[in-house]
């Protein structure tokens, strides 16, 4: 087992079934960061993620993103360039961006892990956000206030408590749930602030994709250490059901070819 880093938080239980039993996946681990598979439900996750404090500054998204792009280009030059040159394949069965934005055209809308707040500013809803990075929160808050909303500076689970019951018409978890240390807890808390007729849009890396099986450790969905959880359609659907949601997959036809799972959750 790798030595404990000053950036690591406490080791985690399986986020899906809370089992303490797991097997190591050294072929997918990187340095001190240990990818494991739950012995009970087979969920794959980072066993020793960085604590929230490290995510505020040391591993803030805007700092690690550029580094990750450089790492991918260096470690899988041909594969990365092939992927970039053939991204048309992702649109073979229709794009989901237009469908995504259609959920956020009216009422109060929330972007969890909103970055600089840009996504929801392109919609007609009243934008709200939760962002852990200090610099990105400042930018997002200024933008959202100008459109009648605001952004909370906090970890996601804590940030949800700033909003009242049944406040949001739609919630965006776009490329976020894989970063969240407590994804099941977050979904449970979002259930409280979502209106009965509201919906949650989710996009996460697809651990079940053919590309992951072909690329192995060089798969684009691996990102150390801020990708903590590695979902399949089955595990995301189960976590949603555990927290009171119905699950609808938006890209069922090409799901095995897509590096991402795109889904909508609605309350039971």
Range of the domain at 165: 58-267
CA atoms within 13 A on the CB side of 97: 5
**How many domains would you assign to the chain?**
1
Q: Which of 189, 122, 182, 184 is nearest to 160 (CA)?
A: 189
Q: Which of 163, 212, 166 is nearest to 35 (CA)?
A: 212
Q: Which of 189, 186, 142 is nearest to 167 (CA)?
A: 189
Cβ-based neighbours of 168, under 8 Å, separated by 6 or more:
107, 108, 109, 110, 128, 193, 194, 195, 198
Q: CA 55 to CA 62: how far, in whole Å?
A: 11
CA atoms within 13 A on the CB side of 59: 18
Tokens read off for 79: 């594969």
Helix and strand numbers (H, E) in the chain are 9, 11
pLDDT at residue number 39 = 97
34 occurs within a structural domain: no
6 occurs within a structural domain: no
Pairing, β 150-153 against β 126-131: parallel
Handedness of CA 137, 141, 143, 148 (dihedral sign): positive
Q: Is the pLDDT of residue 89 over 60?
A: no
| pLDDT digits 0-9 by tens, 204-248 | 999 999 999 999 999 999 999 889 999 999 999 999 999 999 999
Give me the percent of the chain exceeding a pLDDT of 70: 78
Q: Name the pLDDT band for 178 (thresholds 50, 70, 90).
A: very high
- Domain CATH code at residue 96: 3.40.50.150
pLDDT at residue number 53 = 66
| pLDDT digits 0-9 by tens, 137-146 | 999 999 999 9
7 occurs within a structural domain: no
Mean pLDDT confidence for 155-168: 97
pLDDT at residue number 7 = 46
Contact assessment for residue 16 and residue 22, using Cβ atoms and an 8 Å cutoff: no
Provide the 8-state DSSP code for 242. H
Q: Is the pLDDT of residue 69 over 90?
A: no
10 occurs within a structural domain: no
Q: CA 216 to CA 236: how far, in whole Å?
A: 21
163 occurs within a structural domain: yes
40 occurs within a structural domain: no
Mean pLDDT confidence for 67-74: 52
Contact assessment for residue 61 and residue 115, using Cβ atoms and an 8 Å cutoff: yes
14 occurs within a structural domain: no
**DSSP per-residue string spanning 173-229:** EET-TTT-S-HHHHHHHHHHHEEEEEEEEEEEE-TTSHHHHHHGGG-TT--TTT--E
| pLDDT digits 0-9 by tens, 5-37 | 444 445 679 999 999 999 999 999 999 999 999
């Amino acid at each position: 087992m790798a030595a404990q880093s000053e950036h690591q938080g406490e080791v985690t239980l399986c986020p899906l079934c809370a089992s303490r039993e797991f097997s190591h996946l050294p072929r997918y681990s990187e340095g001190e960061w240990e990818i494991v598979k739950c012995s009970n439900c087979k969920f794959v996750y980072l066993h020793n993620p960085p604590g929230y404090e490290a995510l505020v500054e040391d591993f803030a998204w805007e700092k690690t993103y550029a580094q990750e792009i450089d790492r991918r280009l260096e470690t899988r030059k041909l594969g990365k360039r092939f992927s970039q040159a053939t991204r048309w394949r992702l649109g073979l069965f229709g794009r989901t961006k237009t469908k995504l934005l259609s959920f956020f055209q009216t009422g109060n809308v929330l972007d969890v892990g909103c970055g600089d707040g840009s996504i929801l500013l392109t919609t007609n809803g009243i934008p709200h956000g939760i962002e852990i990075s200090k610099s990105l929160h400042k930018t997002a808050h200024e933008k959202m206030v100008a459109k009648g909303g605001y952004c909370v500076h906090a970890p996601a689970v804590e940030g949800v408590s700033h909003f009242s019951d049944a406040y949001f018409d739609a919630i965006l978890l776009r490329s976020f749930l894989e970063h969240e240390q407590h994804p099941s807890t977050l979904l449970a808390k979002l259930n409280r602030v979502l209106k009965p007729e509201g919906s949650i849009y989710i996009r996460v890396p697809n651990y079940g994709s053919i590309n992951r099986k072909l690329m192995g450790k060089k798969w684009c969905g691996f990102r150390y250490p801020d990708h903590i959880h590695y979902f399949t359609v089955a595990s995301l659907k189960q976590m949603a059901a555990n927290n009171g949601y119905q699950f609808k997959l938006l890209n069922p036809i090409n799901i095995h070819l897509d590096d991402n799972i795109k889904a909508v959750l609605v309350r039971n």
